Amino acid sequence: MTRHTFVAGAGDDLRLDTLVARRLDLSRTAAATLIANGNVTIAGRREKASFRPQPGDSIEVEIPPPETREILGEKIDLAVVHEDDSVLVVDKPAGMVVHPAPGNWSGTLVNALLGREGRDADGVADRAGIVHRLDKETSGLLVVAKTERSQRLLGAAIAEHRVTRRYAVMVWGHLDSDRLTVDRPIARDPNDRKRMAIVSTGRAARTDFVRLARYGAGDLLRAQLHTGRTHQIRVHLASVGKPVMGDDVYGGGGGRKLAALPPRRHFLHAAWLRFRHPETGELLDLRSPLPPELHRSLAAIAEDPGILGIADPLADLGFYAEAE
């Protein structure tokens, strides 16, 4: 059990759940749960989440240990794009969570990897060699290290920007020009801890965008990450008023019928991955065509059913040009 004590200030005219969330860097839901469970007291007494502490009130918060579970391997089919003794690259489907966590203890990519290897989590921890991540509803290429050495080397390569990660993304509206760089820091949204936001004190984040096609409702872009912050592409595009189509969290969730997108799916796909093999130095150039639901969405947005007959419309649109 971890204990925190703080004093409400003169400027803290906030509900108790909001104040606890801000002071302890928690989501408001997590703070409300602590209050409901009796883990938050004011001068020794319990109050409701809606209570507004007065300046000078001493607030004590007890945070129980995080919930942990044994991470079990599961027999889940994975689309393997590349595999050798050191590196595995999978094509993650939309809807699959990468790491187990409360609410998602099974069916994750880690569960699938552990099941595929026929081993439990001992010795590989709950990350199972994953060196970067994709959001739940983002599909595409993801690298997994199969040895401790390759995990260390690949992690360093990503930190030093020697891994090229490019995404296909459809946005509502149109960019002012064919190229855009967004270089804005990202951190947890101070008003909603489940979201990320542009925050001046956040971590540096840069994304380059190139327009591949302009349609009536929006633009198809190629996005290249220079950093790997949580929800980076989605936050950066929302910050310039061009949210990702289908993104319910950052303002792009409307118009699903027009975009022919299934529920909860946003148009963001990790389509191109280039990096040097950590052991051999060989350049790996790996590509993933749009999955069927995004292929259909592209045809609907472009109002061109002929796109459905093209095996990889991204190639036709120049997505793989200008390789570094």
Amino acid 11: pLDDT: 77
What distance in Å separates the CA atoms of residue 235 and residue 186, rounded to the nearest whole number? 8
Domains and their CATH numbers in the chain? 2-63 (3.10.290.10), 79-159 (3.30.2350.10), 164-316 (3.30.2350.10)
pLDDT of residue 255: 93
Q: What's the whole-model pTM score? A: 0.79
According to the model, what pLDDT value does residue 68 have?
Answer: 64
**Residue 199 backbone dihedrals phi, psi, to 5 degrees:** -130, 130
- Reported as a single tens digit per residue, the pLDDT across 182-234 is 999 999 888 887 899 999 989 999 999 999 999 999 999 999 999 999 999 99
Residues 6+ apart with CB under 8 A from 43: 57, 58
Catalytic residue among 135, 176, 208, 304: 135
pLDDT of residue 72: 86
- Catalytic site includes residue 316: no
Residue 276: closest CA among 167, 146, 134, 156: 156
- Residues forming beta bridges with residue 286, ordered by sequence position: 273
pLDDT of residue 67: 64
**pLDDT score, position 159:** 86
Stretches where the chain sits below pLDDT 70 are 66-68, 117-128, 323-324
Q: For residues 286 and 272, is the Cβ–Cβ distance under 8 A?
A: yes
Q: Which two tokens stand for residue 15?
A: 């509900």
8 Å CB contact between 130 and 121:
no
DSSP code of 306?
A: G
Q: From 89, 86, 183, 97, select the one nearest 134 (Cα to Cα).
A: 97
